[in-house]
Amino acid sequence: MGKQLSMDRLPEGVRAQVVAVGGEYAMRRRLLDLGLIPGTWVTCRGRAPAGDPGAYAFRGCVVALRARDAAAVILRPEGAL
């Protein structure tokens, strides 16, 4: 299955593919509605000075997510099998 990590741990500038979206129902539904579905490529654009929230680019938009919400999204970094 290869190396996987949660979106809140994605380093800045690194691209990864969504494997699964979990978490609380309402937030999960919002993320899926925005297009954050399995197979989508995501790049971490940066983080606030305190580290939370983080900015993530996918499908032509940039979305800021709190670490606790981003932790529910599982990613596979580019190049990982």
What is the per-residue pLDDT for 2?
63
Q: Which residues contact 3 (CB under 8 A, 6 or more apart)?
A: 76, 77, 80
Sign of CA dihedral 60, 2, 74, 11: negative
Can you give the pTM of this predicted structure? 0.88
Q: Rounded to whole angstroms, what are the CA distances from 28 to 12, 19, 33, 40, 68?
A: 23, 14, 9, 15, 12
Using a pLDDT cut of 90, give the percent of the chain over it.
85
Q: What confidence tens digit (pLDDT) does each residue in 47-74 have?
A: 999 888 999 999 999 999 999 999 999 9
